[in-house]
Amino acid sequence: MRRILPVVVALYAFAPMFGGGLVTHTNQGAAWARTLTREASLGVDAVYYNPAGLARMKGGLHLSFSNQTIFQTRVITSEYPLMQEVPRDYDAKLVTPFFPSIYASYKLDKWAFSAGFNIIGGGGSADFESGIPSFESRIASIGASLAPIDDAMIEAIGFDPGFRNVTGYYIGEMSFRVSSNYLGFQLGATYAITEMISVALGARYVAARNRYEGRTDLITIDAPPVYGGTQFPGNYLRTVAMTPGLPAEVVQGLHGNADALDRLSTDGHLNCVQKGAGITPIIGLNIHLSDQLNIAFKYEFRTRIELTNETEVDDLGMFPDGAKTRADLPGQLTAGVAFQPIDKLTASVGFNYFQDRSAYYGDSDENGIPVNNESIIDNNSYTLSASLEYQFLDLLGISAGYAFGNLGVNDHYQSDLNYANKNSSVGAGVFLDVGETLTIHAGVVFVIYNDYTRSHASPFTYTEVYQKDATLFAIGLDFHL
């Protein structure tokens, strides 16, 4: 199981991906939810989206508090031929009731100082109550692993133990649960060089914590009745070993194989926590050509994160205690344009480019040696977005936006533990200005993902289909003091 890896499971597979890259969330506020395009923002959420744009705000203190509630469903359909039910669906529900974004900025003459908190990765939990395909295929393969012993024993001593006659298996309980939080704490400073040009410099401290819990219990196989019928796999070989007249070396071999089956089919429990941290340097540039046209750029450097396992129990052999895994966040370039073609109407476009191929996401080769992403990602991911916003009577506004995400992964990246699908998002919402001190935002986002079909060639030819859907609701308050 080459790809049972810590960061893959939590940060990527079960993170709520909305308008972001493979591992980086860009859904960072209620204003984003109602537009999907904030890269050229001049509001207080510019602390995250356009820190150089904070120089355009009025003097004083500006605060923003937002929360998103996220619902996501994931379905994996496997056609692994040895499973008792083919095709077999595995599904998980992900609910994230709290996904906060908090920003503060203080404008003083040409300077603006800012701070922010958000969940830059992870931010939820997923519960596969019926496990995942790679768990069950390990058990379903027990019968196939025994079958070659039939031919060897027939040739050696003319005795057929009938291992090929194992007709099925039973798993009393199989489950897998993951929770993940990558918390970002950001500080920055902005300076207006001229009325038109402002720049920003900042950094984000990222604290990562993942938790994994899994189990497979009471694994039995359906053996021929003459050998005891339904029983634990290792006991089947021990029963065969009791056949009168078997040579001592054959009996010894059967007992050795029985011990190996015990290790494969024993009740397996997993309980592990991973922790790590990293720093993200951030720079920004804002060009305010006129009150009708604003252009913004931001670059976030790669965040190097190394996670360390703190494992209580790992019967499944997935997370050795003390092992370290790289789990970088990639470098990210964003660009945005906001244009007012007529009074009260704002049209915006945004672009996000993620340098996935130069980062390390915790993958390893067949020998367990960490590799960079170039072998599993063909092209860096990006998102494109556009939105319209219209304000009525300087009080109530409506907005809507569309975003497309292209994730350049290949089959070597995709698995039941880690898959990424191209997606399209539609968002809409309203905002309400209550005097000059309070703005209320509310929005909803629907994400449509393309199904991804992966073909497997070993040990059998079969396919797995990876599906998901997601909905997000957001509400936020901006204060101008």
Inform me whether the pLDDT recorded for 36 exceeds 60.
Answer: yes
Query: In this predicted model, what pLDDT tens digit does every residue of 231-245 receive, in sequence order?
Result: 887 888 888 888 887
Inform me whether the pLDDT recorded for 167 exceeds 70.
Answer: no
Encode burial over 232-253: b for 16+ CB neighbours within 10 A, e otherwise: bbbbbbbbbbeeeebeeebeeb
Inform me whether the pLDDT recorded for 361 exceeds 90.
Answer: no
Which amino acid is residue 183, in one-letter code?
Answer: L
Q: Looking at per-residue confidence, does 31 or 84 come out higher?
A: 31
For residues 412 and 448, is the Cβ–Cβ distance under 8 A?
no
Mean pLDDT of 350-372: 78
Q: Which of 137-151, 252-266, 382-396, 427-441 has the lowest mean pLDDT?
A: 137-151
Residue 16 has what pLDDT?
Answer: 43
Q: Looking at per-residue confidence, does 217 or 57 come out higher?
A: 57
Query: In this predicted model, what pLDDT tens digit does every residue of 311-333 receive, in sequence order?
Result: 998 876 778 899 888 889 999 99
Mean pLDDT of 241-254: 82
Which amino acid is residue 54, in one-letter code?
Answer: L
Inform me whether the pLDDT recorded for 7 exceeds 50.
Answer: no
Mean pLDDT of 260-287: 86
Residue 6 has what pLDDT?
Answer: 36
Mean pLDDT of 422-428: 94
Q: Which of 76-80, 142-146, 249-253 has the lowest mean pLDDT?
A: 142-146
Q: Which of 26-40, 99-113, 369-383 has the lowest mean pLDDT?
A: 369-383
Residue 144 has what pLDDT?
Answer: 65
Inform me whether the pLDDT recorded for 156 exceeds 80.
Answer: no
Mean pLDDT of 171-197: 87
- How far, in Å, CA of 85 to CA of 82, rounded? 9
Inform me whether the pLDDT recorded for 424 exceeds 90.
Answer: yes
Residue 239 has what pLDDT?
Answer: 83
Q: Where are the domains of the chain?
A: 6-480
Q: Looking at per-residue confidence, does 234 or 477 come out higher?
A: 477
Residue 14 has what pLDDT?
Answer: 44
What band does 11 get if pLDDT is binned at 50, 70 and 90? Answer: very low
What band does 171 get if pLDDT is binned at 50, 70 and 90? Answer: low
Inform me whether the pLDDT recorded for 310 exceeds 90.
Answer: yes
* Three-state SS letters, the chain: CCCCCHHHHHHHHCCCCCCCCCCCCCCCCHHHHHHCCCCCCCCCCHHHHCHHHHHHCCCEEEEEEEEEEEEEEEEEEECCCCCCCCCEEEEEEEEEEEEEEEEEEEEECCEEEEEEEEEEEEEEEEEECCCCHHHHHHHHCHHHHHHHHHHHHHHHHCCCCCHHHCCEEEEEEEEEEEEEEEEEEEEEEEEECCCCEEEEEEEEEEEEEEEEEEEEEEEEEECCHHHCCEECHHHHHHHHHCCCCCCHHHHHHHHHHHHHHHHHHCCEEEEEEEEEEEEEEEEEEEEEEECCEEEEEEEECCECCEEEEEEEEECCCCCCCCCEEECCECEEEEEEEEEEEECCEEEEEEEEEEEHHHCCCCCECCCCCECCHHHCEEEEEEEEEEEEEEEECCCEEEEEEEEEEEEEECCCCCECCECCCCEEEEEEEEEEEECCCEEEEEEEEEEEECCEEEEECCCCCEEEEEEEEEEEEEEEEEEEC
Mean pLDDT of 194-216: 92
Residue 129 has what pLDDT?
Answer: 65
- How far, in Å, CA of 29 to CA of 474, rounded? 8
CA distances from 166 to 87, 188, 266, 322, 421 (A): 20, 64, 18, 39, 38
Q: Looking at per-residue confidence, does 237 or 189 come out higher?
A: 189
Inform me whether the pLDDT recorded for 441 exceeds 70.
Answer: yes
Burial class (CB in 10 A: 0-12, 13-18, 19+), 349: middle
For residues 293 and 236, is the Cβ–Cβ distance under 8 A?
no
**Angle of helix 142-157 versus helix 248-265 axis, rounded to 10:** 180
Inform me whether the pLDDT recorded for 365 exceeds 60.
Answer: no
Q: What is the CATH number of domain 6-480?
A: 2.40.160.60
Q: Looking at per-residue confidence, does 215 or 240 come out higher?
A: 240
Pairing mode of beta strands 377-392, 345-355: antiparallel
Inform me whether the pLDDT recorded for 12 exceeds 50.
Answer: no
Inform me whether the pLDDT recorded for 309 exceeds 60.
Answer: yes
Average pLDDT over all residues of the chain? 85
Q: Which of 114-128, 136-150, 210-224, 274-288 has the lowest mean pLDDT?
A: 136-150
- How far, in Å, CA of 204 to CA of 146, rounded? 54
What band does 128 get if pLDDT is binned at 50, 70 and 90? Answer: low
Strand partners, 325: 307
Residue 130 has what pLDDT?
Answer: 67
Which phi and psi angles does 157 have, rounded to 5°? -130, 5
Inform me whether the pLDDT recorded for 10 exceeds 60.
Answer: no
**Nearest CA-CA partner of 126 in 362, 376, 361, 418:** 418
